């Protein structure tokens, strides 16, 4: 259904397709915003909520509804395909029927369970505006369109994974404190607490990247884990949205294992919050269709070029470039891609056996592991 609505071959100014896509995105975000006004205790992030100016958000929601409705109408007038306009107007009408920008926010109590829909809205808008601009300003592949093949599936992954980030962090926090409470090293926590701000920031990124590196290698070198990680590697086009293609169980497990040493070492909440922002931005940037020259710093910091080689299907790139923040980890441990052209030729899983579409990709690891177990049982019998 969504594939039919968002089917597009090319963009031409004046045809109404561009306005239709903007209308669709704005109308859906408006719908989420209205829901967040109705259920702030369940749909908004407490850390963000305390800084909101409610009246400003009401005006922003009102303006966004007007723009979405206007652009949807423009799509009706200028485009032969009316689906985009109809899709946007559907969500505009639903949003208005639910109260629009005039929803009253009653007193409520904070809950430990929340989806973080406001974080998703800000994340999507920020990623779209910032990284699409950067990709067009410093492109690696100039001919690659914004809406490249399979973008709908990756947008679905973005929606699921980013919308559930609050739940993932909650699960990770509970798991870590219950599983590792007995191994907390208080002297290490005291040492970290006495470090200057920049020293703590460097340490938290380094500790997290070491944990991520180890976890990442397990995903590549253990067949059962690879079935889940293969979903992430199945993207054949790299851009800011490609990094969102990730199995939900991999997201939960990786977050838990990376956050475990961070919590146990006693980093402050301020430092952890800043790290979450850094890892979110760099994860999107590393996958972006961007070419930047940073000289010798590429041997220290992970860049899109470095991480694109990790996603390459070239023989020289298999099981290489694991680091997410500091490329020197791969150079020190002998897992960096060396003596290769500046950029890889192709991306994806060798053999191209991962199905297309978010739902099929979420089911793929379980079906694949089941087939692998059946083969082993058959051989043993």
Secondary structure letter of residue 98 according to DSSP: T
Q: What is the pLDDT of residue 184?
A: 66
Kindly provide the b/e burial profile for residues 49-83, where b requires at least 16 CB atoms within 10 angstroms of the residue's own CB.
Answer: eeeeeeeebbeebeebbebbbebbbbbbeebebeb
Q: What is the pLDDT of residue 285?
A: 95
Distance from the first to the final alpha carbon of the chain: 45
Q: What is the pLDDT of residue 2?
A: 46
CA-CA-CA-CA torsion sign (348, 353, 357, 362): negative
Q: Which conformational region is residue 347 in: left (phi greater than 0), alpha (psi within -120 to 50 degrees), or beta?
A: beta
pLDDT tens-digit map of 275-299: 988 998 899 999 999 998 899 999 9
- Angle CA 63–69–74, to nearest 5: 125
pTM above threshold 0.85:
no
pLDDT < 70 stretches in the chain: 1-17, 79-81, 111-113, 163-185, 381
Name 303's Cβ contacts closer than 8 Å, sequence gap at least 6.
286, 292, 294, 327
Q: Strand pairing partners for 347?
A: 312
Q: What is the pLDDT of residue 341?
A: 85
Q: What is the pLDDT of residue 379?
A: 77
pLDDT tens-digit map of 52-86: 888 999 999 999 999 999 998 888 777 666 788 88
Helix (H) or strand (E) holding 379: helix 358-380
What CA–CA distances, in Å, run from 150 to 51, 103, 241, 297, 309?
36, 36, 10, 33, 20
Q: What is the pLDDT of residue 27?
A: 92
Cβ atoms of 15 and 75 closer than 8 Å: no
How many CB atoms within 10 Å of residue 287? 25
For the record, the structure tokens of 306 come out as 């470095």
Domain ranges of the chain: 1-114, 165-370
Q: What is the pLDDT of residue 171?
A: 65
DSSP H helices in 164-268: 165-180, 186-193, 197-221, 223-233, 248-264
Q: Strand pairing partners for 131?
A: none
What CA–CA distances, in Å, run from 194 to 146, 210, 260?
46, 22, 20
């Amino acid at each position: 259904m969504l594939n039919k609505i968002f089917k597009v071959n090319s963009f031409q100014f004046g045809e109404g397709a561009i306005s239709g896509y903007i209308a669709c995105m704005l109308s859906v975000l408006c719908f989420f915003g209205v829901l967040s006004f109705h259920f702030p205790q369940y749909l908004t992030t407490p850390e963000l909520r305390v800084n909101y100016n409610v009246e400003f958000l009401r005006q922003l929601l009102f303006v966004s509804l007007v723009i979405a409705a206007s652009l949807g109408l423009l799509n009706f007038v200028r485009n032969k395909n009316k689906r985009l306009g109809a899709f946007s107007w559907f969500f505009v009408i639903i949003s208005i029927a639910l109260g629009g920008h005039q929803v009253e926010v009653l007193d409520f109590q904070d809950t430990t369970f929340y989806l973080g829909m406001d974080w998703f809205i800000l994340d999507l808008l920020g990623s779209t505006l910032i990284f699409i601009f950067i990709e067009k300003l410093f492109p690696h592949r100039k001919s690659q369109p914004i809406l490249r093949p399979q973008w709908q599936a990756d947008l679905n992954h973005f929606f699921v994974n980013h919308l559930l980030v609050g739940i993932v962090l909650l699960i990770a926090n509970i798991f870590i404190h219950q599983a590792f409470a007995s191994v907390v090293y208080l002297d290490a926590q005291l040492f970290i607490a006495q470090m200057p701000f920049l020293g703590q920031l460097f340490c938290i990124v380094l500790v997290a990247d070491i944990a991520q590196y180890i976890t990442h290698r397990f995903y590549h070198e253990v067949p059962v884990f690879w079935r889940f990680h293969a979903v992430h590697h199945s993207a054949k086009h790299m851009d800011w949205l490609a990094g969102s293609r990730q199995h939900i169980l991999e997201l939960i497990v990786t977050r838990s294992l990376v956050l475990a040493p961070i919590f146990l070492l006693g980093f402050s909440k301020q430092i952890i919050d800043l790290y979450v922002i850094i890892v979110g931005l760099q994860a999107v940037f590393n996958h972006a269709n961007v070419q930047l020259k940073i000289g010798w710093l590429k041997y220290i910091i992970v860049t899109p070029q470095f991480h694109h080689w990790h996603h390459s299907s070239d023989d020289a790139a298999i099981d290489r470039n694991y680091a997410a923040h500091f490329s020197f980890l791969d150079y020190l441990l002998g897992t960096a891609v060396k003596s290769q052209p500046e950029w890889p030729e192709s991306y994806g899983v060798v053999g191209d056996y991962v199905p297309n579409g978010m739902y099929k990709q979420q089911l793929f690891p379980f079906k694949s592991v089941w087939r692998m177990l059946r083969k082993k049982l058959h051989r043993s019998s």
